[in-house]
Amino acid sequence: MEQRLKTDYLSPCLIERAIAIVLIIVGIGVSVAIAAWGLRVAWVHPNIATKERPIASTRPQSVKTLPADTKISGQDKSSTSDIIRRQVTVFSKIKHLGGTVTTGWIYSDGASQVPTKQYCYYSAVNADLSSTRVDIASDRKPLLNVSTTHVPELEKALTKCQWWN
């Protein structure tokens, strides 16, 4: 036996509609009041929202440098234990059309005078705040198949690579 439901009893009456409208209005009003209160607190007490902390500052230690033509006596030399015994990379950056051309000089250790490898790349920040890096040269030689869509004016970018003399 099949039962049928009468829809006459399911339609909302005037009182139920009025209660629904009142609840919606109250909900919107409470939301606006909470937002206004939050903005007022942030406006009147801005350091509560940001939790500012004092920045500790220290003076950099002075570095003693000697002119290039100065001869160093045996007493003034540092011991070999002071040399960085890891691979060291020095970076040079130059702005280029919405991005940066970066050159890296790789030294075998801290005592090396000439880099063992050099490379150059273009990087730019994307709309989503990520970044794109495109390698454009290695050891003074431009890389093949570099996408010109990712590197604007590739030839000018290559001239901005800072190679070791």
| Alpha carbons 20 and 27: distance in angstroms, whole number | 11
Instruction: Identify which of 96, 94, 104 has the alpha carbon closest to the alpha carbon of residue 151.
Output: 96
Q: What is the pLDDT of residue 10?
A: 65
CA distances from 146 to 3, 33, 158 (A): 73, 56, 11
Instruction: Identify which of 131, 127, 135 has the alpha carbon closest to the alpha carbon of residue 151.
Output: 135
Please give the helix or strand (H or E) that residue 89 lies within, else none. strand 88-96
- Tell me which DSSP letter residue 155 carries: H
- Let me know the angle formed at the C-alpha of 74 by 69 and 77, rounded to the nearest 5 degrees: 70
Q: What is the pLDDT of residue 85?
A: 81
Count CB-CB contacts under 10 A for residue 3.
Answer: 4
**Model pTM score:** 0.50
| Alpha carbons 149 and 163: distance in angstroms, whole number | 24
* Helices within 45-117 (DSSP H only): 46-50
Token readout for 129 is 């705040």
Q: What is the pLDDT of residue 118?
A: 94
Mean pLDDT by 10-residue block, N- to C-terminus, for the chain (165 residues)? 69 80 92 84 57 47 48 48 80 91 90 90 90 92 87 91 88
Q: What is the pLDDT of residue 112?
A: 84
| Alpha carbons 135 and 155: distance in angstroms, whole number | 13
Q: What is the pLDDT of residue 52?
A: 47
| Alpha carbons 124 and 157: distance in angstroms, whole number | 12
Instruction: Identify which of 127, 117, 122 has the alpha carbon closest to the alpha carbon of residue 149.
Output: 122
